[in-house]
Chain A
Amino acid sequence: MKPIAALVLKDLAIELRRKETVVSMAMFGLLVMVIFAVALQSATLATEGDPINNAAADLWVALTFAGVLGLNRSLAIDLDNDALQGLLLAPVGRGALFVGKVLSNFLFMLLAAALVLVLFVVFNNLVLDGRLLWVVLLTVLGTFGFSGVGTILAMVASNTRMREVMLPILQIVLTLPMIMSAVGATASVLGDGNPGTLFVELVVAFDIIFFVVSYLVFEYVVEE
């Protein structure tokens, strides 16, 4: 019994001093609740409660979590063996590094999203028509916005002691307005074939604003 108690007390003492594990777990749990509630609410309000369009909320929650996993992995490659140091020492601008990283993240996420979309169509028995083109376009736009801000957030998270949990926390918190709009547009287009200009505009606005802002502040995240 004694070694067990000692072990538990040791972990408790560490957590009491650093207060990291419980706080970040709770914050993550809260955000998962919020993203589901907000996505479902967006879908419901966009379509006056047509239950089939909760699928739109599912799709975007799925893409969000898939995206976070990809971003984490993509940065891990650069962190292994200090490869990132090598990249930063190379005679190329920080801007080029950022754009390159965003594009590769975007590409990977897009490939994963393509597979998710196929299953989305099958699971929801969707008819192959013009509405799906909108869903594809929205996925491309949303994925781009996601990789733009996600690339810099992965760098931010890698500077913290809690990388694997800080990335999803930051990513969910900051992309929620884009997710809400994308869910709204997806639900609307599946409902009556019209994605709603305002929703699409907001997704595009998010993409542009966050790509530009991330580009501008990237150098401050990687500086020594």
Chain B
Amino acid sequence: MKDRLLGIATLTAFTAALYLAFMFAPTEATMGDVQRIFYLHVPAGITSYVAFLVVGVGSIAFLATRNAKWDRLAYCSAEVGVVFAAANIAMGMLWAKPVWGIWWTFDARLTLQLLLALIFVAYLMVGAYISDASRRAPIQAVVGILGSADVPINYLAIRIWRTQHPSPVIAGGEGSGLDADMGVTLAVAAAAVGLLYVYLLRMRLAVERTRHDVEHLEHAAAES
């Protein structure tokens, strides 16, 4: 029931966000309509950071408590986070091609997001390739912690680079700021993407719990 309500809320928020992004928000002065991709590009990026933060927290909590639910939370969040990071990068490319004339450049922000995604792809690979199932959770948690520790250092290392990517327009430096209508649209879109993350994470956790139960039953059946 809770999931259904969450699903409906996500769908409603997305419909509203799409309406606002395409019909309500003003057309950007220099880039034109292509700028509208911003309303999903930015929330997807922010959400991927949140998802990876959850991986770090879940990994630490798992090693501290040994409760399997934290382990499930960590790697389910990593899966969803990789999807959001990939979506963020793909949308960025679609935006960069008409505006910068290129799909990709090893620019500070782009590289940072790519490295972030790759860290958690590697995290998921470790989990998938571990042969001894009973050893998977703690080892994957260790990689989750090391990966999360890497994120701020990556950020600092890349900050030294020049960037062609625009600085954050919200809470950015001087000369930043967003038109009020654009701000409303972005807020709604961010809420929609955030809800989608929570929804996907809950669905993924439910699948994982079911799998856990099935394994448990199989084990019990084999023993009896």
Chain A residues at the B interface, C-beta cutoff of 8 Å: 20, 23-24, 27, 30-31, 34, 37-38, 41-42, 45-46, 149, 152-153, 156-157, 159-162, 166, 169-170, 173-174, 176-178, 180-181, 184, 198-199, 202, 205-206, 209-210, 213-214, 217, 220-221, 223
Identify the closest chain A residue to B157 (Cβ): A177
The answer to whether A181 and B142 have CB atoms under 8 Å apart is no
How many angstroms from the CA of A220 to the CA of B144 in the assembled complex? 13
Contact across chains for A217 and B122 when beta carbons are under 8 A apart:
no
Contact assessment for B145 and A213 in the assembled complex, using a CB-CB cutoff below 8 Å: yes
CB neighbours (8 Å) of A210 from chain B are: 146, 149
> For residues 156 through 209 of chain B, which have their beta carbon under 8 Å from a beta carbon of chain A?
156-158, 160-162
Q: Are A37 and B106 in contact (CB under 8 A)?
A: yes
User: With a CB–CB cut-off of 8 A, which chain B residues contact A166?
Assistant: 125-126, 129
B153 touches A217 (CB 8 A): no
- Cα–Cα distance between A37 and B114 once the two chains are bound (Å): 12
Distance between Cα atoms of A30 and B132 in the complex (Å)? 28
Chain A residues within an 8 Å CB radius of B146: 149, 152-153, 174, 210, 213-214, 217
User: Chain B residues with Cβ under 8 A from A221's Cβ?
Assistant: 138-139, 142
Contacts A152-B146, A160-B131 known; 7 new A-B pairs at CB < 8 A = A34-B114, A41-B106, A174-B146, A180-B157, A181-B160, A209-B149, A220-B141
Chain B nearest CB from A195 CB (Å) reads 13
Question: Shortest CB–CB separation between residue A57 and chain B, in angstroms?
Answer: 12
Q: Per-residue CB proximity of B127-139 to A under 8 Å, as 1/0?
A: 0011110010011
- Contacts A162-B129, A174-B147 hold; do A217 and B63 have CB atoms under 8 A apart? yes
Residues of A within 8 A of B154 (CB): 176-177
Decide: B153 and A202 in contact? CB cutoff 8 A.
yes
Report the Cα distance A160→B156, complex, angstroms: 31
Across the interface, which residues of B come within 8 angstroms of A223, CB to CB? 138
Taking the complex as formed, is B121 at the interface, i.e. its CB lies under 8 A from any CB of chain A? yes
Is A174 touching B150 in the complex (CB atoms < 8 A)?
Answer: yes
Q: Which residue of B lies closest to A33 (CB)?
A: B106
**Bound state CA distance, A37 and B110, in angstroms?**
12
Size range of the chain B interface in the assembly: 20 to 34
Q: Chain B residues with Cβ under 8 A from A149's Cβ? A: 146
B96-121 CB mask vs A (1 if < 8 Å, else 0) is 00000000001000010011001101
Contact B111 A217 (CB under 8 A): no
**Given A176-B115, A206-B153, A217-B146, A160 and B138 contact (CB-CB distance below 8 Å):** no
Are A156 and B157 within 8 A (Cβ)? Answer: no
Please give the distance in Å from A188's CB to the nearest CB on chain B: 10
B contact residues around A213 at 8 Å (CB): 145-146, 149
A41: chain B residues within 8 A (beta carbon): 106, 111, 161
> Which of B145, B150, B154, B161 has the most chain A CB within a 10 Å cutoff?
B150
B143 within 8 A of A: yes
Residue pairs across A and B with Cβ atoms less than 8 A apart, 27 shown, are A20-B129, A24-B125, A34-B114, A41-B106, A42-B161, A45-B160, A149-B146, A152-B142, A152-B146, A156-B126, A156-B143, A157-B126, A159-B135, A169-B122, A170-B122, A173-B115, A173-B122, A178-B157, A181-B157, A184-B160, A206-B153, A209-B149, A213-B145, A220-B138, A220-B141, A221-B138, A221-B139
Nearest chain B residue, comparing its CB with the CB of A220 = B138
For A20, the chain B residues whose CB sits under 8 A away are 129
Instruction: Tell me, in angstroms, the Cα distance from A174 to B146 when the chains sit together.
Output: 8
Complex CA distance for A149 and B135, rounded to whole angstroms: 20
Please give me the residue from chain A that is nearest to B140 by CB atom. Answer: A156
Chain B residue numbers with a CB within 8 Å of A153 are 146
Pair B63/A160 contact, Cβ less than 8 Å: no
Closest to B114 in A: A34
By beta carbon, the residue of chain A nearest B159 is: A198
Q: A176-B115, A180-B158 are in contact. Are A156 and B142 (CB under 8 A)?
A: yes
User: In the complex the two chains form, what is the Cα distance from A210 to B142 in whole Å?
Assistant: 12
Q: Check A159–B130 contact: CB distance below 8 A.
A: yes
Q: CA–CA, A41 to B114, complex, Å?
A: 15
Q: How far is the CA of A24 from the CA of B129 in the complex (A)?
A: 10
Once the chains are docked, how many angstroms separate the CA of A75 from the CA of B123? Answer: 21
CB distance from B134 to the nearest CB of A (A): 9
